[in-house]
Amino acid sequence: MLNFVFISAIVFALGVSTRSFAQGTSATAGTVTANPANASDGIHDETQLGITIISGNTNSQSYTIGEIASYGWDSNIVKGTLHYLNTTANGTNTALLWDSMGRYERQLSPNLGAFADQVVESDVFSGVVQRNSTDLGGQYSFWNRSDTDKLVTEFGYRYITTQYTTNLPNSNVPTTVNHSLRLYAEIDKAISSTTTGRLWAEYVPSLSNSNDWLFNFEPSATVLISKILSLKIAYLYKYHNLIPPNLTVGSDTAFTTTLVAKF
């Protein structure tokens, strides 16, 4: 009984993170954790934490950590993000992924901007040892009244190198190179005075192979607890039409509930 109360308190206070895998899931997209709210001048920081600990007849631990930092001056913004997830069950690792991004944005007009970013990620259970993505493109805001009332789109070019998991020795692991387009849209809307909804979607088609494309989307809701703390619930779906080597399914999903602190 005490174990149940203890676990319930942790899940409620810090969040629960679950990840759903098919037999051999796909590679991840490059910027699924790189979409913080627009930053104004100055330094802004957002930290996310989710912990699940289960003990008794079964032992399981899951940890999710996220960090988003930005600095704005004049019409410029630099951003950095980091995300890490690790799940073990009865001593066996069942999920392990991380990604990081550095990004520069330049506002050209009230509605138009340009950006460049570099993303590095890994998701071995989705078949990706490491993927490096370089983006260059433009950003257009249909409206951007505030962080909780906006519709922003991006269009650009992406250069991707991917090292997939195989049964070969590490020195023989193949690396693929891909030239792609990237289309992205994000809408944020206040549902109430304390709740905000967000939906983003990303489509990445290859320029060299029409059968090779990625599609990702994530709806989420954030509930304000205090001036600093909020609770975020999100469902992420990722799909790779061209299934990576040694895998049989191209889709991957993640449901997360995390405690968010903004400074």
Domain ranges of the chain: 2-262
Q: Which of 50, 45, 88 is nearest to 68 (CA)?
A: 45
12 backbone dihedrals φ, ψ, rounded to 5°: -70, -40
Rg (CA), the chain: 19
**pLDDT confidence band for 25 (50 / 70 / 90):** very low
d(CA 129, CA 194): 40
CA–CA separation, 94 and 205 (whole Å): 29
- C-alpha triplet 23, 27, 29: angle, nearest 5°: 140
Instruction: For the beta carbon of residue 168, count every other beta carbon within 10 angstroms.
Output: 10
What pLDDT digit, counting tens, does each position of 154-213 carry? 999 999 999 887 665 555 667 889 999 999 999 999 999 999 999 999 999 999 899 999
Q: What average pLDDT does range 123-151 have in this prediction?
A: 90
* End-to-end C-alpha distance for the chain, whole angstroms: 37
Average pLDDT (56-73) is: 89
Cβ atoms of residues 175 and 160 within 8 Å: no
Residues forming a β-bridge with 217: 201, 237
What is the model's pTM?
0.79
Residue 219 pLDDT > 70:
yes
**CATH number corresponding to 2-262:** 2.40.160.40
Burial (Cβ within 10 Å: 0-12, 13-18, ≥19) of residue 98? middle
φ and ψ at 193, to 5 degrees?
-70, -20
Average pLDDT, the chain: 82
Mean pLDDT check: name the lowest of 108-112, 145-149, 194-198, 214-218: 145-149
